[in-house]
Amino acid sequence: MVINNELSRKSGKGKGTILIVDDIPENLRILNSILSENGYHVRPALNGQLALNSAQVDIPDMVLMDIKMPGMDGYETCAHLKDDERTKEVPVIFVSALQDVTDKVKCFKLGAVDYITKPFEIREILARVENQMTILNLQRELKARNKELEKTVKIREEVENIICHDLKGPLSPILSYPRMIRKKGPLTDKQSQYLRKIDLAGHKLLGIITLTNDLFKMEKGIYNFEPEPINLVTVIDTIVSEFSHIADQKDLSIQVLMNGQVIKEREQFTIYGHELLSYTMFYNLIKNAIEASVNGQKVTISLDLNDSLQISIHNEKPVPEDIRDSFFEKYTTSNKKNGTGLGTYSAKLAAETQGGTIEMKTSEKKGTTISISFPK
């Protein structure tokens, strides 16, 4: 039997390719005529097996299919289409004389997107086909945009990696020259102070560069964590020293305690982690506490040995209500000029990467406490 498909061949694929499946030639002729005249390329099939063969050779945009057919019925044909990786995303619309709700429910459970009851109206057929074709085109557009976005993200990550790598070259003399100058000596107290600031700034910049790469690896779950003993007393003392000028300007008191007592020189509070990760984590958290504080207030850093190793950073100001629920999420910031919203997010990643946990408690009366716990 030859079915007139001349119009669809002349018009190419037009608005899309539709595979129509029905064991009654007259139904195929009517559907072919309706759809072809409205700009669709139509491929007919007289049974389920022929439909599967046709779909596998050239994947259609949509399938219109009867249910009751000899041999492989519409249900089985639909099931095969949905089981095949090549055709599982192709929308299937059933066109059937069966009007029982059970039949319709079964069709949708098999993955059909719509159900048209025979005898059908031409306008209904076209409206439902065009509706599903619109949805299909929007889905394809979204997938294409997602692929472009993935490419953009990949390019950005590659550029960031190149920048981080290239920045380490010029940074090398900044890190090495202060040590060389000290060896040459003698230096005045002022000169020693300047060198120390250069040294600290260089190591801080190196930490930022390294953390940029580390954050990406931690997000992807590919960070190579090799724990080593770290004395947090030294790490926190270094950070507090860096912020001493800001504390002086705001008349802030920064107190470091161990088990409730003022910390003594050369005391040890050891965790097993990564020194650079720990430095960056506590740098961001202490910086936030200092910036949130107003003149004359106090920032308290507590190191406590209980069932776990716990470090708490407390300031007297509450966290703004609009960011409390998203405090550790990426890009969360509130009324903070030049803030990236990455400080607490990176702190959470760093804590969890090192096997710890982090939490925030805040209230108008008690202020804000960030607590990080590490296993002993």
CA distance 291 to 338: 13
SS3 per-residue string spanning 29-65: HHHHHHHHHCCEEEEEECCHHHHHHHHHHCCCCEEEE
Is domain 227-376 annotated with CATH 3.30.750.24?
no
Tokens coding 70: 């000899």
Radius of gyration of the chain (CA): 34
Q: How many CB atoms lie within 10 A of CB 186?
A: 7
Superfamily of domain 6-120: Response regulator (3.40.50.2300)
CA atoms within 13 A on the CB side of 345: 18
For the chain, 376 residues long, give each residue's pLDDT as a single digit of tens.
Answer: 223 333 333 334 578 999 999 999 999 999 999 999 999 999 999 999 999 999 999 999 999 999 999 989 999 999 999 999 999 999 999 999 888 899 889 999 999 999 998 888 889 999 999 999 999 999 999 989 988 888 877 777 677 667 666 776 777 788 788 878 888 878 888 888 888 888 878 877 776 776 677 777 777 777 788 889 999 999 998 889 888 888 988 999 999 999 999 987 778 999 999 887 888 889 889 999 999 999 999 999 999 988 889 999 999 999 999 899 999 888 777 666 555 567 888 889 889 989 999 999 999 999 999 999 998 8
